[in-house]
Structure 1
């Protein structure tokens, strides 16, 4: 279900993200304006949520591609691979969070 939720989140926010990208590329002033907005901690949390949605969706997509090749279709293997997707996407999101909040 998280694969569908992350896909829906990315789909619904894609027009907003493209608008922000387009607006930030208009001039140097608009880029600086959006750079100032993204320094807010709440905006960083939104960016982190979108990053996790992308990373989770990407990892789950790889899982589904493997399952399309008839690997891991039994219930136990499918459950383990679902936990694996979650276990991979969370540390990747943690790395994004550390970078986003200035740890390195």
Structure 2
């Protein structure tokens, strides 16, 4: 039996509960899906981003209110949850930016090989998560 005659599995009617749990998505697929998720997250949280930007720049008093939101919270929302949302925004921005640069680089240089796609996807995931951990440690006051 040669490699060409080996039959690959064929999925015609995919059951979301049975087949999707066993399907192994490649790294490039994860980066592509997370690129869309991070863009949607930034879009949905745009009012919060605008509020943070406006509050931090309006005056010294509003800047104090802005920084106290990370400690005391906003209304009924505790401060740790505000930090968690901001950490999500940090990840979304970093991942979306790095994945976007990856796509632009592949488009500009025509490096659309399977090997480069896999390695650049892994670099994208490692960079975005690593930078998020570093900035998250700063956000939560670890350094």
Partner of 1:93: 132
Which one of the candidate residues 118, 121, 133 is aligned to 1:79? 118
Structure 1 gap ranges (5+):
none
Which one of the candidate residues 58, 63, 81 is aligned to 1:26? 58
Number of aligned pairs? 103
- Normalising by structure 2, we get a TM-score of 0.65
Structure 2 gap ranges (5+):
1-32, 72-78
- Normalising by structure 1, we get a TM-score of 0.86
Separation of aligned partners in 1, 2:59 and 2:82: 21
Separation of aligned partners in 1, 2:97 and 2:55: 27
- SS of aligned partner of 1:103: coil
Partner of 1:36: 68
Separation of aligned partners in 2, 1:8 and 1:64: 18
Q: Which has the larger radius of gyration?
A: 2
